[in-house]
Structure 1
Amino acid sequence: MSKKAELPIAAPLYATYQCQIPGTAITTPNPSIRNYYYNRVTKLTCTRRFLREGFTSPELNVLDSGWVVNPHIERLSYNMRYLGSFVRRLIRDLIDEGYYIYFNGVDDYYVKGKSWYHERHFEHDGMICGYDEERKTYSIYSYDSKWICRRFETPVSAFARGMNAALENGCDGMLYGVRAGSDEVAFSPKRALRGIREYLDSDMKSQPFDGKEYFAEGIVVQTYMRRYLDMLLDGSIPYERKDRRIFRLIWEHKNVMHDRIGMIEAALGMEGKYAEKYALLAAQAEKMRMIYASYSKRRRDDLLAELICGLEKLENDERRILSRFAAAAERKIEV
């Protein structure tokens, strides 16, 4: 039995939401699994609830970006309610076998270092990636109390208290042992291009605000985000209820798309000019992320107006660059 163990963390492609992190953070033993996301995970999504149900988040996401959808991740699952005192031994043994521990339904209020520690009761997720028996700590990779996604230590007793508090509150949390599978996942330029075409195949005519579908999907979701910002600006969504995360996800989506374009160009022997052009969009998305972060700290409506204009330009430029790139790459494949 080890007294201490620490599993490696790879930089996650998506980390806006905790459920996205394990999909690529645990891939050090098999980095090819990241190709699953480059091949298939391209579409922005949001719900329409903020438009007509008084909901204050657009629930922006990237379709199939959560770890649970990834078929190349091995997983074991355990209901916390039935683990009792065995939970500590289980976590230690799974980590010794190379499994990361993804958990949900643990009250942040009691878990030192977590986002809502000693601020509010919130049954939250996270990932344990190590333990130290002598220090009686777990190593957690999650959002910390400063809302930075990083590795930090928390006492075993604090985690147990958060778990038990949630159980007492009627929340049956889960522990999942997750690790990279052994499958070699090849990058497929053809499949990745299909994903780009699927992302582009959306506009306001096919996906209007008053559409009956629960979700909107594709590049047009950025128009929905402009509408969300309009509602913040006119007060129909209160400033205090804003979703702070939307521009981080847009920025991550552009970074992954930029990588994907570069990989397609390299695989097809293209010049690389489209990745270079798209890099400007990724940089613009990062700038908007920082502007929105500033707005989230202190309300300034002039910043919202700037973001609305910037997002419209981003969507228009993205549609133009991706359409031309896809056409050029498809000609290469046909040849």
Structure 2
Amino acid sequence: MIPFLQDRMEEEKYIITFVNEYYIPDRVCYEKRHNAHDLFLYGYDAQQDKFYTAGYNERFAYSTGEVSGGLLEQALLQFGQSRGSLTQWVDGMHLLDVRASAEFEFDLNIVIEQLEEYVYCRDSSKRFRMFDNPKQYYSFGLAVYDGIVEYLRNIRKHGIDVRIFHILYEHKKVMHDRLLFLVEKQGIPLSKYDIADYEQLVQQSLSLRNLCLRLEMENEQEILNRMIMMVETLKEKEKPLLQGILNDLHVVQHN
């Protein structure tokens, strides 16, 4: 198994595979429980017998790490012991490589369409109805905030899932990066004040994520109430901010 992985990496392949996280260091389940999860491998060191990985660590932050060849082999060979919701998605090992010759042109129309879908909570799964039925019970766009508030009002504090709030933070962060891309790489004249305001949303969503971690330790109703208020405030601030940015993009679109 390990020689196969090394050979693929010598061919400049990246690897995504499912493993038993009981054997993967710096994961929540390491040496605690047998849990199925995907793992990204992007390199190896034959002399030190280790592979370089990327994924969510025990602090629920996406980061890089290392795993020895012996533990990785155990994680693969003992996958049958794994449990968890991701077992339904297991679909083998995927080999990836970089398409160095590929070119992707920037399309402002698609940016506007997707941003409008997000702001006005449109069902984006309908875009792919040729391949699958639209999702009937999903929330889309800013409506996700309402779903999070409902979740917080009904959750048992000991069972809160911090991943929800980490993903929310990552979404604000990548949205801010996209705005910077539009200005710095595409020369679109967005307001520097709007970008600064969106950066504040990034920081507020990070504070929300950190408050969730605190809730796991302190278990106080006051913290839960603060989280609900912060989620509602994020939605109230983000909608008009993105509507203004959409207006600016429409001006560029029609010039």
Shorter-chain TM-score tier = 0.7 to 0.9
Distance 2:95 2:120 in 1: 37
Query: CA 1:254 to 1:133, structure 2 compared with 1: closer, same or farther past 3 Å?
Result: same
Distance 2:223 2:82 in 1: 41
Please tell me whether the aligned partners of residues 167 and 173 of structure 1 are also in contact (alpha carbons under 8 angstroms): no
Q: What is residue 174 of structure 2 aligned with on the other side?
A: 256
Q: What is residue 135 of structure 1 aligned with on the other side?
A: 48
Q: Does 1:179 align with 2:63?
A: no
Partner residue of 1:149 out of 50, 62, 70: 62
State the SS of the aligned residue for 1:245. helix
Q: Which has the higher contact order (CA 8 A, sep 6+)?
A: 1
Question: Which consecutive residues of structure 1, in runs of 5 or more, have no partner in the other structure?
Answer: 1-86, 204-211, 233-237
Tell me the amino acid that sits aligned with residue 95 of structure 2.
G
Q: What is residue 197 of structure 2 aligned with on the other side?
A: 277
Shift, 1:319, TM fit:
0.7
Query: CA 1:144 to 1:259, structure 2 compared with 1: closer, same or farther past 3 Å?
Result: closer
Q: Deviations over 1:257-279 (max 9, x none)?
A: 12222333453234433212222
Q: What is residue 301 of structure 1 aligned with on the other side?
A: 221
| RMSD, matched Cα | 2.3
Shift, 1:286, TM fit:
1.4
Distance 2:233 2:29 in 1: 36
Distance 1:265 1:274 in 2: 12
Please tell me whether the aligned partners of residues 274 and 325 of structure 1 are also in contact (alpha carbons under 8 angstroms): yes
Please tell me whether the aligned partners of residues 113 and 154 of structure 1 are also in contact (alpha carbons under 8 angstroms): no
Q: What is residue 158 of structure 1 aligned with on the other side?
A: 71
Q: Deviations over 1:44-98 (max 9, x none)?
A: xxxxxxxxxxxxxxxxxxxxxxxxxxxxxxxxxxxxxxxxxxx222211111122
Q: What is residue 242 of structure 1 aligned with on the other side?
A: 160
Q: Deviations over 1:101-160 (max 9, x none)?
A: 1111x2111234433111011122211222222222222222344544333222212111
Partner residue of 2:115 out of 196, 210, 233: 196
Distance 1:271 1:113 in 2: 41
State the SS of the aligned residue for 1:215. coil
Question: Which consecutive residues of structure 2, in runs of 5 or more, have no partner in the other structure?
Answer: 123-134
Q: What is residue 327 of structure 1 aligned with on the other side?
A: 247
Shift, 1:161, TM fit:
1.5
Shift, 1:231, TM fit:
0.7
Please tell me whether the aligned partners of residues 166 and 173 of structure 1 are also in contact (alpha carbons under 8 angstroms): no
Distance 2:81 2:242 in 1: 51
TM-score (norm 2): 0.83
TM-score (norm 1): 0.64
Tell me the amino acid that sits aligned with residue 298 of structure 1.
E
Distance 2:157 2:190 in 1: 46
How many residue pairs get aligned? The number is: 235
Please tell me whether the aligned partners of residues 113 and 145 of structure 1 are also in contact (alpha carbons under 8 angstroms): yes
Query: CA 1:331 to 1:287, structure 2 compared with 1: closer, same or farther past 3 Å?
Result: same
Greater per-residue helix proportion = 2
State the SS of the aligned residue for 2:78. helix
Match runs of 1:43-192 below 5 Å: 87-104=1-18, 106-167=19-80, 174-182=92-100, 183-192=102-111
Q: What is residue 230 of structure 1 aligned with on the other side?
A: 153
Query: CA 1:242 to 1:261, structure 2 compared with 1: closer, same or farther past 3 Å?
Result: same
Q: Does 1:288 align with 2:174?
A: no
Q: Deviations over 1:248-306 (max 9, x none)?
A: 11111111112222333453234433212222212211111111121123211111111
Please tell me whether the aligned partners of residues 103 and 175 of structure 1 are also in contact (alpha carbons under 8 angstroms): yes
